[in-house]
């Protein structure tokens, strides 16, 4: 079920009441686990079998990996787990994509092979829970944390409904210890959780679905080329929509967990206020970025194997990160562009560090440090970063390279006689929301939502919270799925 639905409201009230009932800790955890299965089965009940399979296999393989001392057997166990997890992901998510590319390649060599298009339904959240279980297996292999003691705790770690289908992607040490000791949400946690839940729903329902989605869809789905103004506004609409949709989901997830007394890791920290692309990835989908860093970039060698390898590792990580988002070459291009930005940024950063080192070496200790080329608080650089991120979203949103090319052509004025699609009021909404997002992200870039709320007078918090709920009720957008569910 989705957070923005009557079903979730009813479900969550029942879960809150039962979880806070007069039961033992094990019973309360069992209630939470069963509730999480209900939450997941409410989409497509048969797919719960996949979740169970993944949970049971990884629990026992993880434990065996931790205890196994024979390296060969250990590797074999790791391979079993990786094949299980990645095989499932590849089949459901990339099966059609792999077949399509295989057909393209063999056709290019003159082989006439045209199989029927596979009709594979993607299980909700498979990319997220696969990454959650994968990091456990790898941690067990590397003995980076102790195995989870009970199957109940491990099942709850994998299945805990707030993070199950669209993250934040949690690591065992972040969540498992919270299941080991009895807990109930304090009054403060409950209020903070409800506030975050309201904020997340406001971002998703009011801003993403109600105000921005239709404009973004109208431009990106237009059968004919659109004028430059529409292309720019459509791009900005998607920039706002993707943030409000995904960060909205994460905020709801963190809020729902907090209402139950559990703390999930932060997933967004004002990404449109980022100065630079490394900074952006420290602020956007933080749990995925850190997962890719720790389980892909660093094992590839990170920056420890020389300059060229660092650039290669960086690009590989971003390309695979792009592919994780969807089985389409446009996502790979999106990752590749971000990899390119990180390359350029790193090149200038390394050059600057060398110059600094040279100055220090030449002048001796105590020399005044040269001013950085770009400081982290540089608003102009933040705007430049924002501009490039915007343009890169085109590859993320466009279904084909042709559509992305058409959008870019429109934006630079190479299209003539195009048909406008956006009404003036739609463009005003986009302008106001995106401007507000950029300003808020810039001003709050060094703090968190809750810290900012605590700095406000109580009456202002009450009015803003009330206004969010009023707008939420008035928006009445249908229970649309979150964009990241498809990943």
Which residue, 150 or 475, is less far from another protein as judged by CB? 475
Contact assessment for residue 396 and residue 220, using Cβ atoms and an 8 Å cutoff:
no
Which residue, 299 or 420, is less far from another protein as judged by CB? 420
Q: Is residue 325 flagged as an active site residue?
A: yes
Using CB under 8 A as the binding rule, the residues of this chain from 144 to 163 that contact another protein are none
Which residue, 146 or 463, is less far from another protein as judged by CB? 463
Q: How far, rounded to the nearest angstrom, does the alpha carbon of residue 18 sit from its chain's CA centroid? A: 30
Catalytic residue, from 163, 285, 325, 441: name it. Answer: 325
Query: Tokens in use for 379?
Result: 């608003």
Using CB under 8 A as the binding rule, the residues of this chain from 384 to 423 that contact another protein are 419-423
Binding of residue 86 to another protein (CB under 8 A): no
Element of type H or E holding 390? helix 379-397
Which residue, 359 or 473, is less far from another protein as judged by CB? 473
Binding of residue 425 to another protein (CB under 8 A): yes
Under DSSP, is residue 303 helix (H, G, I), strand (E, B) or coil? Answer: coil
Tell me which stretch binds another protein (CB under 8 A): 99-107, 388-396, 435-443, 470-478: 470-478
In DSSP notation, 204-243 reads IIIIIIIIIHHHHHHHHT-SS---HHHHHHHHHHHHHHHH
Spatial distance between the Cα atoms of 237 and 219, rounded to a whole number of angstroms: 9
Q: Which of 50, 98, 316, 471 binds another protein (CB under 8 A)?
A: 471
DSSP state of 330: H
Least Å distance, CB 207 to another protein, is: 11
Binding of residue 206 to another protein (CB under 8 A): yes
Query: Tokens in use for 354?
Result: 């060398």
Spatial distance between the Cα atoms of 162 and 102, rounded to a whole number of angstroms: 37
Binding of residue 60 to another protein (CB under 8 A): no
Least Å distance, CB 117 to another protein, is: 17
Q: Which residues of 162-201 are buried (b: 16+ CB within 10 A; e: fewer)?
A: bbbbbbbbbbbebbbebbeeeeebeeebbebbbbbbbbbb
Task: Give backbone dihedrals phi and psi of 477, rounded to 5 degrees, phi first.
Answer: -65, 145
Binding of residue 475 to another protein (CB under 8 A): yes
Binding of residue 204 to another protein (CB under 8 A): no
Least Å distance, CB 431 to another protein, is: 12
Least Å distance, CB 470 to another protein, is: 4
Using CB under 8 A as the binding rule, the residues of this chain from 272 to 311 that contact another protein are none
Least Å distance, CB 253 to another protein, is: 16
Number of H helices, E strands in the chain: 21, 0
Q: Which of 151, 428, 435, 451 binds another protein (CB under 8 A)?
A: 428
Q: How far, rounded to the nearest angstrom, does the alpha carbon of residue 197 sit from its chain's CA centroid? A: 17
Residue with tokens 């350029």: 344
Least Å distance, CB 51 to another protein, is: 16
Q: Which of 32, 474, 482, 485 binds another protein (CB under 8 A)?
A: 474
Q: Which of 315, 473, 482, 486 binds another protein (CB under 8 A)?
A: 473
Residues 439-468 vs another protein: string with x where CB under 8 A?
Answer: ----------------------xxx-xxx-
First-to-last alpha carbon distance for the chain, in angstroms, is 16
Which residue, 147 or 227, is less far from another protein as judged by CB? 227
Give the interface size with another protein as a residue count (CB under 8 A).
43
Contact assessment for residue 317 and residue 324, using Cβ atoms and an 8 Å cutoff:
no
Contact assessment for residue 263 and residue 283, using Cβ atoms and an 8 Å cutoff:
no
Which residue, 163 or 445, is less far from another protein as judged by CB? 163
Using CB under 8 A as the binding rule, the residues of this chain from 22 to 51 that contact another protein are 41-45
Spatial distance between the Cα atoms of 441 and 446, rounded to a whole number of angstroms: 9
Which residue, 124 or 247, is less far from another protein as judged by CB? 124
Least Å distance, CB 389 to another protein, is: 26
440 CB-near residues (< 8 Å, 6+ apart): 270
Side-chain half-sphere exposure of 357, counting CA atoms within 13 A: 6
Which residue, 387 or 435, is less far from another protein as judged by CB? 435
Binding of residue 210 to another protein (CB under 8 A): yes
Spatial distance between the Cα atoms of 288 and 293, rounded to a whole number of angstroms: 8
Task: Count other Cβ atoms within 10 Å, centred on residue 366.
Answer: 6
Which residue, 151 or 428, is less far from another protein as judged by CB? 428
3-state helix, strand, coil in the chain (%, to 5): 70, 0, 30
Query: Tokens in use for 4?
Result: 């923005």
Using CB under 8 A as the binding rule, the residues of this chain from 332 to 391 that contact another protein are none
Catalytic site residues? 325
Contact footprint for another protein (CB under 8 A): 1-2, 5-10, 41-45, 206, 210-211, 214, 419-426, 428-429, 461-463, 465-467, 469-471, 473-479
């Amino acid at each position: 079920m989705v957070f923005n639905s009557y079903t979730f409201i009813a479900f969550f009230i029942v879960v809150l009441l039962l979880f806070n009932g007069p039961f033992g800790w094990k019973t309360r955890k069992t209630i939470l686990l069963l509730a999480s299965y209900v939450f997941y089965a409410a989409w497509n009940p048969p797919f719960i079998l996949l979740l169970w399979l993944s949970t049971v296999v990884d629990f026992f393989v993880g434990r065996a990996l931790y205890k196994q001392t024979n390296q060969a057997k250990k590797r074999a166990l790791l391979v079993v787990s990786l094949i299980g997890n990645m095989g499932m992901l590849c089949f459901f998510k990339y099966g059609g994509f792999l077949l399509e590319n295989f057909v393209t390649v063999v056709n290019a060599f003159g082989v006439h092979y045209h199989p029927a298009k596979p009709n594979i339904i993607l299980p909700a959240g498979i990319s997220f829970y696969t990454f959650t279980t994968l990091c456990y297996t790898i941690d067990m292999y590397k003995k980076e944390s102790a195995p989870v003691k009970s199957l109940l705790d491990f099942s709850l770690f994998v299945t805990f409904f707030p993070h199950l289908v669209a993250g934040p992607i949690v690591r065992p040490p972040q969540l498992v210890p919270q299941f080991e000791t009895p807990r109930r949400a304090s009054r403060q946690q409950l209020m903070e959780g409800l506030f975050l839940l309201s904020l997340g729903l406001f971002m998703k329902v009011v801003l993403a679905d109600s105000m921005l989605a239709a404009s973004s869809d109208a431009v990106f789905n237009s059968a004919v080329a659109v004028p430059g103004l529409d292309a720019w506004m459509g791009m900005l609409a998607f920039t706002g929509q993707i943030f409000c949709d995904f960060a909205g989901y994460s905020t709801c997830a963190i809020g729902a967990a907090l209402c139950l007394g559990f703390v999930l890791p932060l997933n967004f920290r004002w990404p449109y206020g980022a100065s630079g692309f490394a900074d952006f990835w420290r602020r956007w989908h933080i749990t995925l970025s850190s997962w890719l860093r720790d389980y892909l970039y660093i094992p590839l060698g990170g920056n420890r194997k020389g300059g060229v390898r660092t650039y290669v590792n960086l690009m590989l990580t971003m390309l695979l990160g792009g592919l994780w988002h969807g089985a389409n070459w446009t996502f790979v291009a999106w990752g590749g562009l971000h990899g390119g930005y990180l390359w350029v940024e790193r090149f200038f950063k390394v050059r600057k560090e060398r110059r600094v080192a040279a100055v220090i070496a030449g002048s001796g200790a105590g020399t005044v440090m040269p001013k950085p080329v770009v400081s982290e608080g540089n608003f102009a650089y933040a705007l430049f970063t924002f501009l490039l991120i915007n343009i890169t979203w085109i590859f993320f949103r466009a279904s084909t390279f042709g559509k992305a090319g058409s959008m870019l052509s429109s934006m630079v004025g190479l299209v003539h006689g195009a048909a406008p699609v956006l009404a003036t009021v739609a463009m005003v909404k986009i302008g106001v929301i995106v401007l507000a997002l950029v300003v808020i992200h810039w001003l709050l870039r060094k703090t968190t939502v809750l810290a900012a709320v605590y700095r406000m007078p109580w009456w202002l918090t009450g009015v803003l919270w009330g206004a969010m709920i009023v707008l939420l009720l008035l928006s009445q957008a249908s229970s649309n799925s979150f964009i990241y569910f498809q990943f």
